[in-house]
Amino acid sequence: MKIGFYGATGTVTGSKYLVRTGEARVLVDCGLFQGYKQLRLRNWSHLPFDVRALDAVILTHAHLDHTGYLPLLVKNGFSGPVHCTPATYDLCKILLPDSGRLQEEDAARANRRGYSKHKPALPLYTEKDALSALERFEPIALHEAFTPAPGLSVHLHKAGHILGSSFVRINDGHSSLLFTGDLGRPDDPIMRAPEIVEGADYLVVESTYGNRLHDRVDPHQALGEVIARTIARDGVVVIPSFAVGRTQHLLWCVHRLKAEGRIPQTLPVYLNSPMAQDVTAVYHRHRVEHRLTPDECQAMCHAARYVNSVEESRALNERHGPMVIIAGSGMATGGRVVHHLRAFAPDPKNTIVFAGFQAGGTRGAAMLAGADSIKVFGEYVAVRAEIAQISNLSAHADYAETLDWLRNFKAPPKLTFITHGEPSAADALRGRIAERLGWRCQVPDYRDEVELGDGGTA
């Protein structure tokens, strides 16, 4: 086998790994680049391999940095199957069309207001393109062996990151290659722990939190404190949130905070993300993957008032506090939350809460770094609101949790590749794995290709 790294190198987005043998061409993950402009421009460039020659795509999970390029891949000629777990398919049916819709809306807005350098501004792909991509999906159950291409046997194992997330284990009859995708946490309050894996010849492991430990403070307590001090000054709490995983955790926290009397039962809480509403309903259909009972799942689903129409969303910006607004996207790169930031970020009574990692080049990263203004729809908006972060709401394992999971291997992999992390995080995890476990590690660069047969040579 050979592996090519065409995303998630030097960054946490754009995951794409090309696995090749003499007979087979399989792409593991097919994500969008997000964050810095030079990364986002890669979405518009042709991939450095022939997409028409691909036999199949295998997805680790549904987040757009792992799936969001699929509509363009199909548009550009990919005609094979897309394999993933049933829950990942259910989530992609929500996420991918929504991504296409948002890109169409952003392009239309740029053309109306004239702030794009492109005449006309065009979407990367459309909702119709996303629906076409969904026709390629062929879901596979966890632990069920399948053959996506000649000579390859693949199994999916529970990764515990979000609903449907999986490790991808590929075997060509000579050696095995394991992709963690995004590695979940052992004690997540909603998702079940990642499955134990006892070994693989080669390993590709994520490093989003490769240089950090999650705060051990109870996240729902920390969220309660942020909300309490904001509503004490009649402010608005705006929480940019990923529709899948993070939003459901936040809703569960809100339910608990009200039940415990830490925030008022009457406090208005709005979920301004139709997509997140649909995702929350998927939790009922896949209860075997999470820890919530049917009653707890129902309580989570009713923890906020749902905002559906654009008119309702705009009306929120005219309201005064106290209230809480949860809206997409998680790093404030697009979606309805951007409109709320424009409305509420200039007022020091308000608080913007980031619930997890913010990739470099995103509005979220800029605000956490202390930016006094952010660019929204071609104009700069002052940031005077309190900026808070609750990092341990993240569904990514930190470096200690990652090392604990790796210690279950009965023998070291011949080579471990560290990906899906900012450069400092990837290198920190490389050092920790090498020093504490004694494993041979490598941090690949963009477009690196490695032959695995002799232990890995770039």
pTM: predicted TM-score of the whole model, two decimal places = 0.90
Final residue of a domain: which of 393, 418, 439? 393
User: Are 255 and 226 within one domain?
Assistant: yes
Asked if residue 458 is part of any domain, the answer here is no
- Give the domain CATH number at 64: 3.60.15.10
Query: Please, where are the H alpha helices in 114-236?
Result: 127-134, 219-232
Same domain, yes or no: 400 and 380: no
Q: Are 35 and 65 in contact (CB under 8 A)?
A: no
Residues 331 and 430 in one domain: no
pLDDT value at residue 274: 78
Residues 293, 268 share a domain: yes
Question: How much is the CA Rg of the chain, to the nearest whole Å?
Answer: 21
Q: 227 with 291, same domain?
A: yes
Domain boundary among 358, 393, 428: 393
Residues 357 and 406 in one domain: no
Identify whether residues 146 and 9 lie together within a single domain: yes
Alpha-carbon distance 452 to 75, whole Å?
Answer: 31
- pLDDT given for residue 313 in this prediction: 92
Q: Which residues are bridge partners to 306 per DSSP?
A: 271
Q: Would residue 456 count as lying in a domain?
A: no
Spatial separation of the C-alpha atoms in residues 202 and 178, rounded to whole Å? 6
Structural tokens at position 57 = 């795509």
Q: Which two tokens stand for residue 325?
A: 């607004």
- If one counts the domains in the chain, the total is 2
Residue 457 domain-assigned (yes or no): no
Strand partners, 169: 155, 178
Kindly provide the residue ranges of all beta strands, DSSP E only, lying in 103-201, ordered along the sequence. 153-158, 166-171, 176-179
> Would residue 248 count as lying in a domain?
yes
Q: What is the pLDDT of residue 454?
A: 57
Mean pLDDT by 10 residues, the chain (458 residues): 97 97 97 93 95 98 97 98 97 94 88 82 95 98 97 98 97 97 94 96 97 89 96 96 86 94 96 82 88 90 90 93 90 87 97 88 93 93 96 90 98 98 97 98 98 64
Tokens for 305, please give them: 């008032």
Question: Exposed, middle or buried by CB within 10 Å (0-12, 13-18, 19+), for 189?
Answer: middle
CATH, residue 318: 3.40.50.10890
Q: Which residues of 252-275 are buried (b: 16+ CB within 10 A; e: fewer)?
A: bbbbbbbeeebbeeebebbbbbbb
Domain span holding position 286:
219-393
Q: Which of 393, 415, 431 is the last residue of a domain?
A: 393
Do 230 and 373 belong together in one domain?
Answer: yes
User: Is 275 in the same domain as 378?
Assistant: yes
Determine, yes or no, domain membership for 173.
yes
Answer yes or no: do 231 and 201 share one domain. no
Q: CA nearest 189: which of 277, 269, 250?
A: 250
Specify whether 18 is located in the same domain as 151: yes
Report how far residue 183's alpha carbon sits from residue 125's, in angstroms, rounded to the nearest whole number: 29
Asked if 313 and 245 sit in the same domain, the reply is yes
Cα-based distances in Å from 432 to 11, 15, 400, 405: 19, 23, 9, 13
Which residues, in sequence order, are CB contacts of 92 under 8 Å at separation 6+? 59, 62, 67, 70, 84, 134, 137
